[in-house]
Structure 1
Amino acid sequence: MLGRVTQSGQYYTTGPGNLLVTDCLVGVENHVKEIDTMMCGDSEDVRIIGIHGMGGVGKSTLAKIIYNRLLHHFEACCFLSNIRETSELKGIEGLQNQLISDVLKKKWANISNVEEGIKIIKERLCGKKVLLLLDDVDQMTHWDAPIGKPDWFGLGSRIYHN
């Protein structure tokens, strides 16, 4: 893995789409391997992996590491960070717009209500092998509306939420 250490102590992995992850990690490798095993299996089914725990224990960092390791194996990827906060500021429609924009790799801000967003996500993502990471999911509406149902996605898709 190529990268550089910045003055702030952050480690930036190079490459398109990679997320910033701190280089000061201790004891994370076993957790990464365990999630890798669950997500990277040879199975072509759609897999959903949920991680829960107290705030500040490293769930988001783990999600970023997994995302960086897997993103090149998927047709489309999206990391929706701070879902709880984003939904409060922009509504569920804002999350849906971001998901579609990231996956289709073009600006999308046309969703005006949740039902319309669900329909568009189903139509546009149907059959695509996607990697979705949903960070800070704390309500079912944060889960249901942005991603809909797992069978909307193509074989081999992986969805991680915390």
Structure 2
Amino acid sequence: MPNSNIKITDIERLNLINQFLILEKLYPEEADYYEKNRIALEQGYKAHYRTIFEHLWEEMPEEKTREVLDILEMHRAITWSLTDLSKDNKKKSNYVFRGFDGNEESEQLSYCHYFIVNLERYQELVENKEYPDFNSHCEMLPKYRRMLKVWKELKEEYDFRLTVDQIDRIWSA
């Protein structure tokens, strides 16, 4: 929230002041931090409100989260299909979810990490990683969007699992 003009009502200020008072007591080792924020709010130092909210990230639009979920769902379908279709793990290793670029696709990367690690969903995409970071170190969204287009077309054709040919079509998009 670095460049936003923060506007809070007196009631919101009072609630935050009370929260900071509670936090000062609950966490004495961090009491100085909470006290400084409380004083800024009590005395109306608007220039310092930004520091209170500096740890808040910008909201991620729902369309972006939906796109990440579609990408994860597509990779899940590929993973499950390969597990059922192939005993040749060499073939499977070519189709691993690579994640998103940490520099150019950081919102998607963060949401992906939250969804898989924090919410413990789609664990089959982790693939024996002790700490999955999902950083592909290269942009993946253009590739994933092409793959999604093919997958969505095929989704209407296939029953439950994808064939190897369908997976190859998706992956080579």
Q: State which structure, 1 or 2, has the greater radius of gyration over its C-alpha atoms.
A: 2
Higher strand share: 1
TM-score past 0.5 threshold:
no
Higher helix share: 2
Q: Which has the higher contact order (CA 8 A, sep 6+)?
A: 1
TM-score normalised according to structure 2 size: 0.29
